């Protein structure tokens, strides 16, 4: 498990700026709940350490949520969002676009939107959008990250 971003360091401050941009984009542009935004954020932190341009899985995946080639290509063709090197806003657009496609209902948009807590949303995102190979361990870590990000970015009043 990686350490939570330290706002007193340049790297940590940069990560927290990306975190704020994810929350803003998902809640204000796409109307997702605070819980859903924190859940998505927790998963982006686990996948990419909040770096928008980072290859993974031996260059077979990339971006905030480490989207694999076939999904990357489908999102790019479908809505124009580059999930490997686009801005935070563009990658959020691509994720929401993919989540809301009729053929992709298995991705758990309803579960994400109805999550009662940030931790439940992090689990829903992990189980239905990320689908990692070590599900039990990854869900547990992402729930912890959701708790940490919820503390760092309290729910707006």
| In the chain, domain spans | 10-152
**pLDDT digits 0-9 by tens, 88-139:** 999 999 999 998 888 766 567 888 888 999 999 999 999 988 888 888 999 9
Average pLDDT, the chain: 93
Q: Could you give the angle at which helices 34-48 and 118-125 cross, rounded to 10 degrees? A: 50
**pLDDT digits 0-9 by tens, 93-103:** 999 999 888 87
Alpha helix (H) residue ranges in the chain:
10-24, 34-48, 69-79, 88-99, 109-113, 118-125, 135-152
Top CATH class, 10-152: mainly alpha
pLDDT for 105 equals: 63
pLDDT for 109 equals: 83
Q: What are the phi and psi torsion angles at 18 (to 5°)?
A: -65, -40
| Region 19-37 average pLDDT | 97
Question: 105, 133 in Cβ contact below 8 A?
Answer: no
Among the listed residues 28, 6, 24, 25, the one whose alpha carbon sits nearest the alpha carbon of residue 15:
6
Task: Provide the token pair at 17.
Answer: 């700026």
| Rounded-to-integer distance, Cα 72 and Cα 69, Å | 5
Cα dist from 1 to 58, 85, 139, 141, 149, whole Å: 20, 25, 12, 7, 14
| Rounded-to-integer distance, Cα 30 and Cα 97, Å | 10
């Amino acid at each position: 498990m990686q350490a939570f971003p330290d706002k007193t360091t340049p790297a940590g401050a940069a990560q927290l700026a990306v975190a704020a941009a994810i929350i803003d984009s998902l809640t204000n542009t796409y109307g997702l709940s605070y819980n859903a935004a924190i859940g998505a954020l927790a998963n982006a932190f686990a996948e990419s350490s909040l770096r928008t341009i980072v290859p993974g899985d031996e260059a077979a995946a990339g971006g905030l949520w480490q989207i694999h080639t076939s999904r990357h290509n489908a999102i790019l063709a479908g809505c124009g969002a580059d999930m490997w090197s686009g801005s935070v806003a563009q990658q959020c657009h691509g994720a929401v676009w993919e989540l809301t496609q009729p053929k992709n209902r298995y991705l758990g948009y309803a579960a994400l939107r109805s999550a009662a807590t940030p931790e439940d949303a992090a689990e829903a995102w992990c189980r239905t959008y990320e689908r990692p190979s070590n599900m039990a361990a990854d869900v547990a870590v992402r729930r912890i990250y959701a708790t940490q990000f919820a503390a760092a970015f309290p729910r707006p009043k």
